[in-house]
Amino acid sequence: MIYRENGQFKTTYRADQQIFPIRQDRIAIGLLLFAAVVLVPALASEYLLRAVLIPFLILSLAALGLNVLVGYCGQISLGTGAFMAVGAYAAYNFHVRFDGLPLVVSLLLGGACATVIGVLFGVPSLRIKGLYLAVATLAAQFFVDWACLRLKWVTNDSTSGSVSVAGLNVFGWPVESPSHKYLFCLGFVLVFALLAKNLVRGHIGREWMAMRDMDVAAAVIGIRPVYAKLSAFAVSSFIVGVAGGLWGFIHLGSWEPAAFSVDRSFQLLFMVIIGGLGSIMGSFFGAAFIVVLPIVLDNLPYWFGIPVDTALASHLTFMIFGSLIVFFLIVEPHGIARLWSTAKEKLRLWPFPH
């Protein structure tokens, strides 16, 4: 009875088209933001920030970028890890070669470089789709891995391909403690999530969804496939590139090409599928599922005092994790976001059956 919009009348188009039209949703989001910005940095432990929250935020941002391409435009991609690597290494080069360049600008320029590579590998989407497009984007993974290992100027003449950054600051404020790193990542995630939400609600997002649903019909009604597909690759690669820069600069601090391997690409694709294709909220649900669940499964036997060998616990984690993925895909192919949406609809009708 509480989650009901009775008496909430809209008198303008602006009010009717807002992101959260129900007052209860706006209150809940406000409380969630307050907790994320104020309570979490003050109360969370260093382990929680470093091992859970910071990876969750960065992978949520990367999944958000991939969801723009796969969920909203329907263009499959298996090269997300490569675009993250481009963003990380490009941001590193801007950071070390241009003295005094702000950290935020370096990360955004890294995203811009990832945009160029993403559009370049997105050109085949104009002629091929489905499994063939997946293989074409997978080629980006091997090309970027080769470039990071063989082209010495990419890693600033590092022989091993490993690079590192230190002494990060944002306009004079140091970004060294876990709470500062968490807030820095949270700021990026909030800004990009808001921009992506407004983008997919506009005419560009409608063009992407038209191409996803039926590209031939979309072309017939005047939507340009070249513009729609390449713009989706550009926006997706930019967000993923920024996420790659954050992963290297903030989470790892020192990294090598293996940090952005093909496993990372599949992990992000699983996040989008499990969380919900074509859903901004689904990107966060998928990242939470992938990041938090293995940690819970690893520690579950110790919480209940069950003596389990470390190797057995590791194998059981993979088995249970894979089984849960299959279970979710069978029970709800549209992801956790669909389950969340269904629960909200039932709350709006409860206790009435109609």
Separation of alpha carbons 248 and 85, rounded Å = 9
pLDDT of residue 353: 60
pTM assigned to the model = 0.92
Arithmetic mean of pLDDT, 70-91: 92
173-174 and 163-164: which strand pairing? unpaired
Q: What single string gives the DSSP state of each residue in 178-212?
A: HHHHHHHHHHHHHHHHHHHHHHHHSHHHHHHHHHH
If you search the block for the tokens 């091993």, which residue do you land on?
160
pLDDT tens digits along 94-124: 998 888 889 999 999 999 999 999 999 888 8
pLDDT tens digits along 135-186: 888 888 889 988 888 888 888 877 777 888 888 888 878 888 899 999 999 9
DSSP 157: S
Run of H or E including 259: none
pLDDT tens digits along 227-277: 999 999 999 999 999 999 999 999 998 888 888 989 999 999 989 988 988
Separation of alpha carbons 156 and 8, rounded Å = 58
Which are the contacts of 127, defined by CB distance < 8 A and separation ≥ 6? none
The single-letter code of the amino acid at 350 is: W
Separation of alpha carbons 297 and 323, rounded Å = 13
> Is the pLDDT confidence value at 308 over 80?
no
